[in-house]
Each structure stands twice: as structure tokens, then as C-alpha cells.
Structure 1
Amino acid sequence: MKVPQMIAAELRRLTASRMATIALLALMCVPVIYGALYLWANQNPYAKLDQIPAAIVVSDTGTTVDGKSVNYGQKVADQLVEDGTFDWHAVSATTAAKGLNNQKYDFAITLPSDFSRQLASASTTTPQKATVTLTTNDTNSYLASTIGQQAAQTIKASIVQEVNHEAASRFLLALADIRSSLSDAADAARQLADGAATAHTGAATLADGTAQLTSGSASLRDGLNTLATQTSDLPSQTAQLANGAQQVAAGNEKVAAVADQAGSLAQQAADAVPSVRAQIIADLQAKGVDQATIDQVMAQLDQLGTKVTDGNQQVQTAVGQLDQLSSGSQQLAAGASQLAASAPALSGGIQQAASGASQLADGSAQAATGAASLRDGLSTLADGTSKLQDGLDAGVQQIPATTASERAAQAKTIADPVALKNSKEASAGTYGAGLAPFFIALSAWIGIYALFLIVKPVSRRAITALRTPLRVTLAGWLTPALLGIIQMIGLYAIVAGALHFGVSNPFATFGLMALASVTFASIILALNVWLGSVGQFLGLVLMVLQLVTAGGTFPWQTLPGPLAALHHALPMSYAVDGIRQTMYGGNASLAVGDALFLLAWLAVALVLTAIGVIRMTHRRTLRDLQPSLIG
């Protein structure tokens, strides 16, 4: 009997009656039903989160920020309800607690009464963390509680973003005000620097002037001191001068009086010359002297009269001069007396002037020192204000000028500085598609396992007829293998057609599904050939082991050490990975490696089955004589 004939014989046996056919069809549908129902149920649960009932409790009483009343808790609640990610219900704390207990709500979010005050405290000297309370009840649904925790984290991130946006807006506005103030300060510093430079120039001029004043006042002091020394005897000397002048004036007065008498007499003599001449002429004429003699005598006497007259004029002139001398000496005496009277005051004034000049010299010296210090200080001030101006200008340049719209954009970026860009080398698309490779592989194992409930591992008739062990082995494997491929055709139609899961490489994906099914068939065949019903049971145990080690849900790295080691040894792990690579458009070389590993399991299992068949042709066992009720 050839291999096709043995396969046909087994198929005829499986469809020999209506009930046998129904049983075969039912078992053929097991992996399709299992995989289809599970993947349908989990096709895209995250798209239906808005049907998960959740309570939100707003106890926030609000607060005042910058003179305005705000209620951040109510704002957050309104945003959550408007977002509609979950089926939110705004209720009281009591209603939320009852709803969690009677499964009306899967979880509850509570915003406490001081929520707004705690958020607003971030800009005060006593900042506090705001509290958002998540209340869950795992008896409702553990996954719902987990989703609630993720929702709470999302709410927290949203609140943090809002607070950061507001804080950044305030900071940027304050920074803009600082820049404006720095600019004003820089302008003021520029004016101050110009004023300080002008003041420094003036102070330098003042220092030079006070230095000259110091020199001049010192010379004045020295001169006045010399003058004071030289005029210290002036009062006594002027007193002596006044006494001497008074004596001279008295003597001149006496001389003038004598001169006045002499002048009077000389005037009288001069005045008497004409009358005396006439009297002489008369006397001569009376005595009978002739006229000639009289003329001779009178000529002589006229000369004498002329001399008397001229002498009188000289005397009168001298008298006038003596009178003037007497008057002048009187004035000189009066002036000398006044000088003597004023000399003490003059001497005292000179002494005071000398003392004042000394003080002026000392003061001007101090002023010169102060002016020099002022000049140096203003120089330092000028340098400092120049540096201050440069520093303020540099500070203004370091703070960029922004508009209100630019600050709004900056605050938005600061509040949420990182944009998450999902870049996928390969993408499943949906949650159900992400689980599909695992449940396809698991369904393939379950389908083969179910078939071996009615399919005979090998033909006892062929063994009895001493057919070639290789043919017996191939016939025993190809029968469930072909049925398994048919199962995979149905399952692939459900996955790609009914559920519309994206398949990047359809032919490679189905090829790996078929390879996984026929490999699983060889493994379960080997277990049945060698161990019979015990082998069938071990097939169930092996399924359970692969269920937890294949890494179909969580990454295999999260498994305990012994189970992680089994992940690298059992075939379902490679079936899952290979289907992922082809279904999602992943690494083709990894898919090839997975296929080679499955082929290695297939070859080993077939070799072991062949050995088992050879063993069965050479000897009979008690199991052959009393076959098991199953297998």
C-alpha cells in the first residue's frame, strides 16, 4: 500500500458514517472557532474605551489667581467629559463609591477641594503638589483598573502640561518685562555714563582750579603774614607822626601869624609911598626948592618907592605861601591824627586777613585734595557706569525680544517640549492584530491536538503487512498535516477577510501558518507513536507550556528563568515570531530562521516517529494487544 492509498483509507475511515463526518468537521472547526472568536472579541478593544463607565468627582472649591476666580478641578473635569475617551459620569463622592461597589463604574477620579489652591501654590513661596485620587475595584475588572491607572497618568500629564503652560507664560511675560526694564536701565546707564564722563571732566577742571587756588591762597597767606609783621608797629609810628605833624602845624601857625604882621606892615609901607611922595614934593616946594631939583630928588625917591612896592609884593607872596603852609600843616596834622586813629584798626584787619588767608590756604588745600579724590572717584564712576551700560546692553541682547504670539508659542512648547513620533519598523495596526500570531499558532496546535482524538497515528494494518516504515510514517503524518493545512486556510480567511487584519506578506504568512501546523502534527504524531495515550496527554501539557513561554502577550524576557529557557527551545515560540515577521512586514531573515527552526523540529519529530514505527514492526507490546481507548 502506497502513501496516498493509506491517506485515502484513513480519510474514508474518518468519514465512514454521518456522525464520523460530523465529528471530523467539528474538530476541523475547533481552531477556526477558537482563533476567530478570541481575535474577534479582542479585535480593537482600545477603540471602545468610551464605553467603559468611569466616575469623576469634583470637590474643588476653586481659588483666586491674579484677582480672578479659577476652578482648575472643574476645568479638568469638563475637558475629560468633552474628550470622551471614557464614559465619564460627574457624580458625588458617595455616588462614586456606591457605583464602584455595585459595578456601575469601573474606576473613579477624585479632584479634592483644595485642588486649585494646590496648583496655584506653585507660584508662591510654599508650593504644594496637587492631588488626584484614583479609586479602583479589581473585582469589577483588573484590566479596567489597569486602564484607569493609565488614564490617571494621562490626566496627570495633561494637568502638568496645563500648569507648565501657565507657569511658562508667566515666566516669559516676566522675562519680557525684565528685558524692557533692562533696556530702560541700559538707557539710564548710558545717560549716567555720559553724565559721569562730563562730571569727571568738570571734576578734573575743579581739581586744577583748586590746586591753583591752593597755590594762590598760600602766596596770599605768606604775603599777608609778611604785611602783618611789617605793619605791627604802624599804630605807634602813626601816633608819633601825628604828634610831630601837630607840632609842625603849631609852629607853622605861629610863623604865619608873624608873616601876616610883617605883610601888613609891608602893605602899609607900600600904601604910604604915594602920600609920602606927595608930601615930600609939597615940603620941597614950600621950602622953595626948584622944580629941577625936586625932580632929581623925586627921581631918586621914586626908585626907592618902587623897591618898597616890589618888596611888599614879595612879602605878600611869602605871607600867602606861609599861610598855605600853615593851613597844609594843619590838614597834615589832622590827617596824621586820623591815620594814627585808624592805624590800630588797619593793623588788626591785616592780622585778621592774614589769619583768614591762612584758613583759606588750609581750606583750599583740603578742597584741592577733595577735588582730586572727586576726580578720581568720578573716573571710577565713569568706568563703572560704562561697564554697567555694557553689561545691561549685553543682558538685553541675551534676552530675545518676543511678541505675545511668540511667547504663547514658546509657553506651549515649554509645557510640552517633546513630541512623540511613532516610527515603526513593522506595525500590527490593532490590538487584535497584535495578538493574532500567538492565537494562530495556538489554534494550530489545538486543531492538530483535536484531530488526533479521532485520527489514528499510524496504520496498524500497514504495520502488520510489514509495509515500509517510512511510508507508514509519512502516511500517519500527512493525514493530520493536510487536515491542519485546511484548518489554517479557514483561519487565514477569518483573520485576513472577516476581521480585516492587515497582512503584509500573505503568501509567506500562510506558508508559516501551514508549516507550524504540519510541524505540530509531526510532534504530536511522535508522542502518540511512542507513548500512546500518555503521549496525547503530553501533547496537552506541551501546549500549556508553549502557551506561557511563546511570548504571545507579554515579552518573553518577563518570564521566570526556567520558562524563558523553554521559550528558545519550543517550536510555538518560533511559529509566533515567524508569523509576526511576515504578517507585520518585519525582518525576512528572522522569518526564514524561524521557518528553519520549525523544519528542524519537523524533521526530528518525523525521524523519531519513523524509529517508533520501526520498533512497532519488530515487536509487539501489551499496548498493541490491548490498545488504549483514545489515540
Structure 2
Amino acid sequence: MNDAGSQLLSASKDLKAGTDALYDGINSASTGISTINGKLPELIEGTDKVKNGITSVQAQLPNQLASGLSSQLPALVKQSSIASADEMANQLADFIIQYQQQQLAALQPLIQQLPPEQREQLAGSVDRTALVNQLKQQIIAGINNNSSSTNTNELTGQLAAQIKASTDPVFNQLTAGLQQVQEGQKALQTGISQLDQGSQQLKQGALQLSNGQNQYLSSFGLFTQKLGEAKAGADQLASGANQLNAGMGQLVDGSGQLSSGAGQLAEGSVQLADGTNQLQAGTDELNKKLSEAADEASSLHANDKTYDMMASPAEVDSAHINKVPNYGTGFAPYFISLGLFVGALLLTIIFPLVDSAGIPKNGWSWFVSKLAVMVTIGVIQSLFIATLVLYVLDIDVQNVPLFYLFTIFTSLTFITLIQFLVTLGGNPGRFIAILILILQLTSSAGTFPLEVIPKAVQFFNPLLPMTYSVKGFKAVISSGDYSFMWQNAGILAIYIIGSMLISLGYFIWKFNQKYKNNEAEHHHSLAV
């Protein structure tokens, strides 16, 4: 649910960006619609002016045509010639067609606003032949009737009417088309107004949607944060439930103890009641004595002794269980063990632990010959160190003979352990011995209590022999707890016996591998 919430939050941000873009587009469209809505009244007014102008031109057309024809017809009428009438008819037809085309060309921007079918009708060509014949008949009729100026004016009016009749369809269609255009513009104005209102509402709604999405993103971000906290709380709840389950088991055990304690509490309640009575009696007596003391204190005149008594009413009397007189005595168990281990390690560098001067009789004699030398040197170094500590460094011990004995025992432990390591491993064995020494320096609790040593190092404390040598030396030097000393000496004996058995086994195996085939020759050489 937490992962899905993060995905939903990311998608919501994308949706918010799209909503902002939509709002910008709606705002731009609303601005354009408002502009168009403001221009439409001017467009409708212009269309109305054009329509009125066309109507005015159409009304004035006969007078204009009559004025133009009046300058040409008198001369033609006076000629009283049919041939001249034919020529005049052709000229008038050309004039009419040309005039009509000029009017259409001038009105072409308006014609483009008409519906397609009306534009096709206006674009059609005029039947010139029919127009010429019609004009010719009217001219001949006018000439035959009368050639006076009055009749000429009548003929001029007839011709003007004829021309007007040929152009009226164009003006009528154009006027009707403009009427439709104007009605469409008015309908468009109404629609644009509604669209403008709708766009304003849409813009307002888009703004509200954008604001709502901002609040949604803010709230959803908070929801995602709280969901993460809820997940962490759920983990803590699960952990707490496990602890509660374990605690319930402890509670069951404690209930039994509580039941047992309740019986003891009942017995103690009786004693408490008796003690309460005694306390009441003692309180009364204390109150009485305090009153007497107050009376006496009021008559007391304080001096320097009184002030000293009040400043230090009690003195602390401390007693040492196993007093260590100086720093050297406290660290002697640690450094004696360290010196004996280092001495045993250095012995392996100058004394060969495997090579023999001749061919040994067997693996047992080979082992004993090596062990005897190392034990002798180990005893010598232990006696030297013990004497140095007692009579040069002047450290007091609880029991001098046991101190010498435990020093020898510790030296033999390190001698046999290092003999086993170096005999079997050579230089790698010496390296392992150095690692053991380093671990013993930190885990034996010779300098600091075991509780302040890191947990990882405390693991090695019960596994290494220096732990028990330090404890034994503390017992024989400071506490005098000889049973505890013998207990640690017994653990060191296990190291001694185990190391000796492993070394003996190695020498027996080594003898069988190296010297068994030459045993007869070896006996012969001894006999010689």
C-alpha cells in the first residue's frame, strides 16, 4: 500500500501539470472568445450598412441609367433608322452586361459570404442575344411611335427600366444573402455570448480543479508520510506483540510466585499490624522526647564545636576485604602470566622442538627428551620470576610456598601448550601462539574487570589458560582463597595433560613414519 501510494502521488503530480496546461489553454480560448464577442456587433453593423447601401444603389439605378441614356438616345431616334436601332441595341447590351459585371466585381467580398447555391446563380453569364433582341424591339417601337423628345424620354425610361430589370435579380439575391449572413451573425453572436459565459465558467472550474489538486497533492503527501509512519508503527506493534507474548509467559510464571508471595504477604501483614502498633507507641514517645529536646535546645548556647558537630554529624569507617597495598601488587598476576608465556615462546626459537641429536628409541623417549629440557627451563624461569617479584619488587603474598608452586604450574602450562603448537605447526604454530597471547592480553581481565571488556572479546575469556592463571595468582597473592587457587590450578592441569598427550601422539606418529624402518640399524649403532 505504501508503494502504491508513492506511484499514485507521482501520477497525481502529472495530472496536476496537465490540469495547469488545460487551465492556460482555457484562459487563452476565453480571451479569444471575448475578443470575437466584442467584434461581432461591429461586423453585424457593417453588414447592415452594406445591405442598406445595396438597397440605395438599386433604388437610384433607374435615374442613373436614364441620365446616361438620355445623352445617346436622341441622336439615335432622330436618325429613324432600323439599322441604327440594331447597332444601338448591341451597344446598350454591351453597356448593360459591362455594368452588371462591374457591380458584381465591386460586390464580390459580399458575394463570398452568400450560400454556395446563390453564389453559383450570380456567377452565371447573361444571355446577350436575348437581351439584344429585346432591346432592339423596344428601340424600334419607340422610334416608330414618335420621334419627339418626350417620346425619347419615355424610351429612355423604358430602357432604363429594362436594364434595372436585368440587374434586380443580382441585387435581390445579394440582399437576401446578406440578410441570411446577418441573421447568421446574430445567431453567432448569441452562441459566442453563451460560449463566452461557458468559457468563463469552465475557466473558473479549471481554476477550482487546479486548486483542489494542489490541496489533494499536499494532503496526499501528508497521507503518504503518515502511511510510512503507520508502517513503522505496525512493525513496532508486531515486535511489541511478540514481547507481550513472551511477557505473558513470564506473567504466568510470576503469577505462581505472586500466589506464593501472597501467602507470605498475609503472614507479613500480621507482623506489619504488630509493628504498626509499636510504631504508634514509638511515635508518641518520639513526640514526647522531641518536645523535651526542643525545650533543652532552646536553652542551648551554640559554639564552634556545636557547628562542627552539625556540619559532620557522622564519619565513614571503611573496611577492605582484600586490600591491595600498591599498583604493582594489583597488576602482578597479569604481568607474571605474561612473562611466563613470552619466555616459553622465546624458548622455542633457541631450542629445536622436533630435531633430535641421534635416532630416538621410540616416540615416547623422543617426546620425553624434548619435554624434559623444556620443563627444566620452564621451572627455572618460574623460580626466577617468583624470586624477582618477592625480593626485588618487594611484593607481599599470602603464602610464599604456594606462590612458588602456582608459578611453576603456570609456567608448565604455557611450556606444554606452546610445545604442542610449535611441534605440530612450526612457524605457523608460533604465529598461532602469538595470536593466543594477544587474545589473552585483552580477555584475561588482568587489567580491567571482565564486564567492561567488549562482548566479542569476552567470548575468549573462558577458553584461554591465562584467564585461570590470573585468577589463581590473585587468590594466592591478595585474597588468600587457596581453594579457589587449587580450582584454577586444576583447570590449568587440563591444558597441561591435553597438550602433552597431543605432543606425545605426534612424536609416536613421527617416529613410525621416519625411524621405524631403521630401528635395527639404530640398535646396532648403539651396541657398537
Query: Given the two structures, how large is their TM-score scaled by the length of structure 1?
Result: 0.34
TM-score w.r.t. structure 2 length? 0.40
Q: Which has the larger radius of gyration?
A: 1
